[in-house]
Amino acid sequence: MSAHTHAAVDTAAVESADPCCAAPLPVLGRDVTVPLVTGGEVTYAALDYAASAPALQRVWDDVAAYAPYYGSVHRGAGYLSQLSTDLFENSRATVAEFLDCRPADQVVFTRSTTDSLNLLAAALPADCQVFVFETEHHASLLPWQDARVTYLNAPRTPQQAVATLERALADRKPHGPALVCVTGASNVTGELWPVKELAAAAHAHGARIVLDAAQLAPHHPVSVQDLDVDWIAFSGHKLYAPFGSGVLAGRADWLQDAEPYLAGGGASRTVARRADGGVDVEWHTTAARHEAGSPNVIGVYSIASACKALTEAGFDALVARERHLIATVREGLAEVPEVKVLSLFGDDAPRVGVISFVVEGWNSSHFAAALSAEYGIGVRDGLFCAHPLVRTLLGSDPQTQGECGAPEAAPGERSLNAIRVSFGAGTPDEHVERFVGAVKELVRDGAQWKYRTEDGRCVPDRG
């Protein structure tokens, strides 16, 4: 088996003369059927891509083809070990190309976006100040607890975001090292953030910037060089490669100067006993410095496979098709007066296929449960690991209790939650059309079944 062996992509099925009519990319589970509480079965409509996207069939095929050849990475003398090492390092090069990294950048493989940003947080230089908007996913909002953190209020326009950051950076004291952490696309509203402009503002004030591309990379091409970001983080499980790996890619200096994220084999170059009985360690200065332990070869290879598949399918066609799906959902929801779509930047803001909303007269948990149980549609409800942002967007809007309550609130707080529908390269038109039809029917006619709260979740009452 060659390290580059993969299943062929049927580009004729992926692209057509009209990119808006391009077929969805084949994904695992596309033919799965689920039971309906009202009787019968239906093909499952997976509309929770923002949480985890299904594996591309191409990725699954590549992983299955490699699995019999799996071996220990690095230092092994056997053929399978050498092949796996080549596969692992070639995957690193593939990811660097996918992200359009600078020649000197390092690509470090991690477990997830959260792991990547915690790694960078551990590598911050002394007295580094961190600036982050309250609109971030918790993976971007929370890793900086050991640093001096300035949390910026939610902007209402991209221009306000840039101006807010510029003021904060200009006013920082002392004027030492600083890091800005920003998302590329909101996991709540799907809106694109002005990353290039924020990077320019950061650099103009002597700061660096890390891009959380977890929601951006699966939907749009991402160029480290064009955006001029210092680091980028993303997860395989949102990039159609749900096998437990993530990426932190970018400048090497802070990573090289930091203590290894984990101490152990693979991160160390040499280890020797001292005369006094202690141990001296020389750590690697390459990406291996922060990749201690046996690496997740299959997870890494699956990310590289997904990068290749998306590139070969063509982002122009993928983006055009997704815009068609977004329009279908937004136009359908706009026809329901009881639906309020959540937004920071307004209706005309560019966005990816992530849309959150609330329904007057419904608790969001109840509505999501009915979509699943009665229509075979999987969406998400809650605060989406972005509690400050969702609370800001919901404000004081009431949440009707309905037959199921929202998740428990903290003492003294109101219980708030929303519904999120999200989709991507593997979503067929029928899924979003079924979703829009189901929303209209539920609002008009109500649920056909009774529901109750069980272990904090709204479920059909089968008693």
* The predicted structure's pLDDT at residue 301: 98
Give the pair of three-digit tokens for residue 155. 């902007």
Mean pLDDT value across residues 83-99: 97
Higher pLDDT, 6 or 348: 348
Higher pLDDT, 330 or 15: 330
Mean pLDDT value across residues 51-71: 97
Q: What does the pLDDT look like over 272-322, one tens digit per residue?
A: 999 999 999 999 999 989 888 999 999 999 999 999 999 999 999 999 999
**Distance separating alpha carbons of residues 131 and 114, to the nearest angstrom:** 17
* The predicted structure's pLDDT at residue 288: 87
**Distance separating alpha carbons of residues 59 and 151, to the nearest angstrom:** 38
**Distance separating alpha carbons of residues 195 and 165, to the nearest angstrom:** 12
The continuous run of DSSP H or E covering 139 comes out as helix 138-141
Work out the mean pLDDT of the chain and round it to a whole number: 91
Beta strand 45-46 with 377-378 is parallel
Give the Å distances, CA to CA, from 385 to 36, 139, 187.
29, 8, 9
Give the pair of three-digit tokens for residue 70. 């799996």
Predicted confidence band of residue 175 (pLDDT cuts 50, 70, 90): confident
Q: What does the pLDDT look like over 202-259, one tens digit per residue?
A: 999 999 999 999 999 999 999 999 999 999 999 999 999 999 999 999 999 999 999 9
* Residues designated catalytic: 385
Percentage of the chain modeled with pLDDT above 70: 91
Q: What are phi and psi of 285, to 5 degrees?
A: -105, -5
* The predicted structure's pLDDT at residue 456: 79
Mean pLDDT value across residues 372-395: 94
Predicted confidence band of residue 73 (pLDDT cuts 50, 70, 90): very high
**Distance separating alpha carbons of residues 128 and 164, to the nearest angstrom:** 19
Predicted confidence band of residue 4 (pLDDT cuts 50, 70, 90): very low
Predicted confidence band of residue 25 (pLDDT cuts 50, 70, 90): very high
DSSP reduced 3-state for 51: coil
Q: What does the pLDDT look like over 398-416, one tens digit per residue?
A: 444 445 554 554 444 445 7
DSSP string, 306-333: HHHHHHHH-HHHHHHHHHHHHHHHHHHH
- Torsion sign, CA atoms 153, 158, 164, 169: positive
**Distance separating alpha carbons of residues 91 and 48, to the nearest angstrom:** 27
* The predicted structure's pLDDT at residue 396: 54
Residue 120 has pLDDT above 60, yes or no: yes
> Looking at the DSSP assignment, which residues form a beta bridge with residue 181?
132, 210
**Distance separating alpha carbons of residues 44 and 33, to the nearest angstrom:** 5
Lowest-confidence region among 20-24, 31-35, 66-70, 244-248: 20-24
| Alpha-carbon dihedral 192, 320, 244, 132, rounded to 10 degrees | 0
- Residue positions counted in the chain: 463
Task: Give the chain's largest Cα–Cα span.
Answer: 81
Task: List the one residue out of 23, 27, 89, 92 whose CA is nearest residue 61.
Answer: 27
Mean pLDDT value across residues 177-197: 98
* The predicted structure's pLDDT at residue 75: 80
Q: What does the pLDDT look like over 410-434, one tens digit per residue?
A: 444 445 789 999 999 999 999 999 9
Task: Tell me how crowded residue 401 is: count the other CB atoms within 10 A of its CB.
Answer: 12
Specify the pTM.
Answer: 0.91
Task: List the one residue out of 177, 170, 249 whose CA is nearest residue 210.
Answer: 249
* The predicted structure's pLDDT at residue 12: 34
* The predicted structure's pLDDT at residue 14: 34
**Distance separating alpha carbons of residues 313 and 176, to the nearest angstrom:** 44
